[in-house]
Every structure is written in structure tokens, then in C-alpha cells.
Amino acid sequence: MSLPDVSSRDAKQSWFYTDAVKDHFFHPRNFMDDEAAYHADGIGMVGSPACGDMMKVWIKVDPATERITDLKWQTFGCASAIASTSMMSVIVTENGGVTLEEARKLRPQNIMDRLGGLPVRKVHCSVLGDKALRSAINDYLRKSHQTDRVEAENGRMIDRQANVTDLNIEEAVLDGAWTLEAVQQKTKVGSGDPSCIPEVEQLIRFYKEKHFGNAETFTK
């Protein structure tokens, strides 16, 4: 049976969702429906409901194999965020579950490939799930007294005047800022020290390729 279409109200904007995206939106997998009864080994959360998208992830881990045996999630977000996280939960738990190290390497591009692409303007919605997953893994490692394996979210200073690190630029790219102008709007990088701009442009290209591969192949 064909699923209802989800498309732009503006006829000039012809972006659309793939059947896989619509399937995971209308029939999300592994959604958390009873948090009180669920005993998680690790919990991660990113974003805030006050400012828009928020994601919360619960994981169960086999300590002997370090495989994620189960994953549940909840989100305040759009269709793309819901579908992306649903697909992420499938990737992480299928075939007996991935290991913690394999889960840490999961990137938005892997999720989008399985979904058949996302509209360019919705790519940023695919980043919440893997970030919340890494947060849940860190929580599990802390609770299991493996703090030496916790991955800290640090950054290298790129623009001291604007107090912008490479992590800030990566976050901007993940949020859909794929040009220098867009990154500057979000971070103000280079506004006081333009000498850093060539490095900023290199980082934008690097993070686009790292997280999203070839953006031209995305569904528009």
C-alpha cells in the first residue's frame, strides 16, 4: 500500500521524502513508549524542547561482547528527525547489535544512505540520533567505571577573538551551514580575525565530506 505523500506546500519547492523516510516516520521502530519500565544501561540526550529538536536515547549493552542489544528513543522533532532516528535504531540493533566502537563511528551519511537520502534543507535533522547515541555510550562507560574511555567533546581554537573552535564549526556544518557565509552567521568566525578564514573553509569542506559525503547526491 502506498503511503501518504509528504511534500512542500510551496509548489516551487519540489523536495520530497523517500518511501523509506515516510515508512519510518509513519511506522517508527524502537520508539520508547514506557520509560518507567525500561532499565537502560546508558542514557543520552541532546538538544532542548525549548528551542526545537530534542533527542533522548536509551541503550542496553552486553558487557561481555560490548554489543548494543537494544535501543529506544524519543524525540521532539520533524518527520526527518523521527525517520532518521528510527533508522539509526535499526542499524545499531540489527544482526545482534553493533559494538560500542562501531556505534561511535556511525555518521549521518550512513543513516541517510539507508533512508535513500533526505531533502538538503532537512539534512541537519539526521544528526541528533548519532549524537544522542554517543552521549548514551559515554553514560554507559561512566556507569560501568570506564571513565578513561569516555570521549570528551573538546575543540581546537580557530578564532580566539570570536572564541570559535573547530568543534563549533563542525556543529554549524551539522546544523546545515555548508558555506562560509552560513557558518559565519552562526559562529561569527573571522569577523575580527579574517586570517583564519582559509582554515575555516577547509574545515567546512572536511566536515561536509566526513558527515554527509557528496552533498550533491542528496534528495532535493
Instruction: List the domains of the chain with CATH numbers.
Output: 19-151 (3.90.1010.10), 157-216 (1.10.10)
DSSP conformational letter for 99: B
From first to last of its 220 residues, the chain has per-residue pLDDT tens of 445 454 545 444 445 788 999 999 899 999 999 989 999 999 998 765 544 567 899 999 999 999 999 999 998 778 888 999 999 999 999 999 999 999 998 988 888 889 998 776 666 666 778 888 998 999 999 999 999 998 876 677 888 888 888 888 988 888 889 999 999 999 999 988 899 999 899 889 888 887 787 555 444 4
SS3 71: strand
Task: Name, in order, each residue with C-beta under 8 angstroms of 106's C-beta and a sequence gap of 6 or more.
Answer: 88, 91, 92, 98, 130, 133
Q: Cell 534543507 identifies what position?
A: 121
- The pLDDT, as a whole number, for residue 103 is 96
Return d(Cα 142, Cα 131) in angstroms, integer: 17
Which residues belong to the active site? 51, 125
Apex 172 CA angle, 171 and 175, nearest 5: 85
How far, CA to CA in Å, does 136 sit from each of 85, 116, 202?
Answer: 14, 26, 31
Return d(Cα 30, Cα 73) in angstroms, integer: 7
Is 169:190 a contact under the CB 8 Å cutoff? no
Q: Cell 546545515 identifies what position?
A: 176
* 185 alpha carbon, distance to own chain's centre: 21
- The pLDDT, as a whole number, for residue 45 is 86
Return d(Cα 147, Cα 141) in angstroms, integer: 6
- The pLDDT, as a whole number, for residue 125 is 66
Q: Using alpha carbons, select from 148, 168, 165 the residue that is nearest to residue 156.
A: 165
- The pLDDT, as a whole number, for residue 220 is 43
Beta bridge partners of 70: 60
- The pLDDT, as a whole number, for residue 200 is 92
Return d(Cα 176, Cα 182) in angstroms, integer: 8
Burial 111-146 (b: 16+ CB within 10 A, else e): bbeebebbbbebbbbbbbbbbbbbbbbbbbbeeeee
